[in-house]
Structure 1
Amino acid sequence: MLARQRQAAILERVRAFGGVRVTELAAEFGVSDMTIRRDLETLHERGVLAKVHGGATVTGPGSTDEPGFRAKSVRQSAEKAAIADHAARLVHPGAAIALSAGTTTAELARRLVDVPGLTVVTNSLPVAEILHVGGRPDQTVVLTGGVRTPSDALVGPLAVAALGTLHLDLLFLGVHGISERAGFTTPNLMEADTNRALVAAADRLVVLADHTKWGTVGISSIVGLDAADVLVTDDRLAPDARRTLADRVGELVVVPGTEGTP
């Protein structure tokens, strides 16, 4: 296959799925990772896709843009792993917790499969599948009903009703964006309602958000910055954002080891 043909096929996959991984493309086309990276660089320079760590995604996000789960999963993978590693240390055996939808919360779910006696409430199909397939038999997974979003979240009145009578120790919340004015935001109006119901059901709120979420504003606010008991982010977050968040959230945790990641 010629380079132009391969690049056209790559672009078609990005547009169809929202995102692609270098390793998957290399295996599919029978070429090296370096060849795929050069293809992605060429397409990036043409402005038809956005390069991210480990792959590429579609370009042009806005306040109502809602990437699919697969597209988001290839973004900031190192940062999400570091954030999830820290968040897992906050979970104790026998706890009743909630995990919202999102790729960072899915990373956290992979680290909770061996926690005994855990009860997990979630509106995320990937989170529920991870714990159902790999979790312990003494774990309980509660999946809300609702309408499925492009990011594989279940949202809407059914999800809100399911959460209305629950009392949970801890909520791990993934967000689309963070700003000083708008707080924690999402591009999906119904998901905002569902996330607010999750917040109301939990004694403590832990927000999991990599540095790219700062300055991004979705169309609907979930809660203000002051509502977060803990915000876990990575060390690529800008100094001014750190100062702002340290003043507003209960505790700001900046996990080390991701600064300088491409």
Structure 2
Amino acid sequence: MTIGMRSATSIFPVARSLAQERHELIVSEVRTRGSVRVTELATLLDVSDMTIRRDLDVLDEAGALVKVHGGAKISTDHAADQPSFDAKSNTQTAEKQAIARAAAEFVRGGATIGLMAGTTTWRLAGELAAIPNLTVVTNSMRVAEVFNEFWRADRNIILTGGVRTPSDALVGPIAATALAALHVDTLFIGVHGMSERAGFTTPNILESDTNRAFIQASGRKIVLADHSKWGVTGLSSFANLSDADVLITDDKLSADAAAVLSKQIPDVRQVSGS
């Protein structure tokens, strides 16, 4: 009786190829940073730009990321995808900073304002840090951290409670209940996406409920959204385009998108992010 030899692959796991290892590292880097350039990945992985481009083609086709000119960014194809705060904070940084500077012009000392969670409203907090006698209501842990770092005795920070999301927002019934008892003069709104059909959206249902409570507690409503948010639809809508009094975006927004938004929003401002 002859006993056949067992295949080595039935005993030992198949070793990962170098390409698979690169793909895992690339996806990890993109998810951590939000976006990354081909040259940066080539340096990090010690391979050629051409190799990285081929890797990005494969990963883009698989839906793991989105290949863009010169690099890759996180995928936003799924309505419930919710990138981390750190991932989002590394995308469209120049545009977000320009939008934050323009938004700061709406704030004067003595005002009571609301800052919803988001990486652009977080940058706005930095622009407002030196303004005296502000009362700030926020559901963003990161926004509260900025004001705590640049402490002023004449400033009041009201941080709602709630459940923490991957983007470091505090959401849910506790946050909504706290907001129901408050009123702010001007609310600065961060969004995950905006479109003609869905309006302003977020991938988190609890955050959507909290955002609605914030809007109900506010007077003037100013949306801060860079051009990459147009055409993105999150899982849950929390406001119509027409609910905004002002939209501040950047000059990379297409003329067609600006025209659609201008029909719904009284004041649409495009600032240079260069």
Shorter-chain TM band: 0.7 to 0.9
Determine if the alignment matches structure 1 residue 44 to structure 2 residue 59.
Answer: no
Select 1:17's aligned residue among 32, 40, 49.
Answer: 32
Structure whose CA Rg is larger: 2
Distance of 2:124 and 2:76 partners within structure 1:
28
Equivalent position of 2:104 in the other structure: 88
Question: Where does residue 229 of structure 1 map in the other structure?
Answer: 245
Percent identity at matched positions? 48
Report if aligned partners of 2:31, 2:87 keep a CA contact under 8 Å in 1: no
CA positional deviation for 1:139: 1.2
* Range with bigger deviation, 137-146 or 38-47: 38-47
Deviations 1:3-38 (A, max 9, x none): 97994674264377363667xx97xx9x979x7994
CA distance in 2, matches of 1:229, 1:148: 28
Q: TM-score, normalised by structure 2?
A: 0.81
Letter in 1 for 2:183: H
Residue of 138, 143, 163 corresponding to 1:127: 143
1:103-140 CA distance string (max 9 Å, x none): 01111111111010111111011111011112322211
CA deviations over 1:61-103 (Å, ceiling 9, x no partner) = 3111111101111111111011001001111111110100110
1:82–1:60 distance in 2 versus 1, CA, 3 Å: closer
Corresponding pairs, count: 251
Distance of aligned partners of 1:59 and 1:221 in 2 relative to their CA distance in 1, 3 Å threshold? closer
Match of 1:246 in 2: 262
Is contact 2:135–2:156 with CA below 8 Å preserved after alignment?
yes
Tell me if the contact between 1:13 and 1:20 (Cα under 8 Å) persists in the aligned partners: no
Inter-partner Cα distance in structure 1 for 2:125 and 2:71 = 22
TM-score by length of 1: 0.84
**1:92-241 counterparts in 2 under 5 A?**
92-241=108-257
Offset at 1:182? Answer: 1.2
Is the 8 Å Cα contact of residues 139 and 160 (structure 2) preserved in structure 1?
Answer: yes
What is the SS of the residue equivalent to 1:158? Answer: helix
- Mapped to 2, the partners of 1:67 and 1:112 lie a distance apart of 26
Q: Unpaired segments of 5 or more residues in structure 2?
A: 1-17
- Listed as ranges, the gaps of 5+ residues in structure 1 are none
